[in-house]
Amino acid sequence: MDLIDEVDLKILRILQKNSKTTNKEIANKLNLTPSPIHERIKRLENKGYIKKYVAILDKVLLNKPITAICMVSLRYHDEGFIDKFDKQIKELKEVQECYHMAGKVDFFLKINLETLNAYHEFVRLKLSKIENIGVLESYFVLKEIVSTTEYSF
């Protein structure tokens, strides 16, 4: 990957705090003109440093206040079973994040739902249908201490 300079890093810091910041606003903060800012942002997008722009929604206002963390261990670990699990978990719209882990558990899932009963139904009607799950442990978030999408650099 091409190296980026300190100006690029400053642009990335600004955009990850608020992706709606205009080129003009960024230029003013960095004492530059909008045109080179635009060019730099396009280059950062094209090189893959900026993957996409999103709106971060309020889960409580959207009536999804329950955050469940599922730790999943598979019964069988060969490539075919892992690939099948990957495919099946991607089809579950309730799963916000899924990580293949090293350690005692194989997968870490993050799920936000309306109620504990909705989580129960999700496990009963969807997650339990994935045949290779050996152990499923559920944890529920009591309070978010830190929640960010920002990288420190």
47-57 pLDDT per residue, tens: 999 999 999 99
Spatial contact of 94 and 113, defined as CB atoms under 8 Å apart: yes
Spatial contact of 62 and 68, defined as CB atoms under 8 Å apart: no
User: Quick check: 90 pLDDT over 60?
Assistant: yes
> Which pLDDT belongs to residue 17?
95
Sheet holding 66-74, edge to edge: 95-100, 107-113, 66-74, 133-140
> Which pLDDT belongs to residue 60?
96
User: Quick check: 14 pLDDT over 90?
Assistant: yes
CA atoms within 13 A on the CB side of 70: 27
Cα 49 from Cα 37, distance rounded (Å): 15
Cα 88 from Cα 130, distance rounded (Å): 7
Q: Output the average pLDDT for the chain.
A: 95
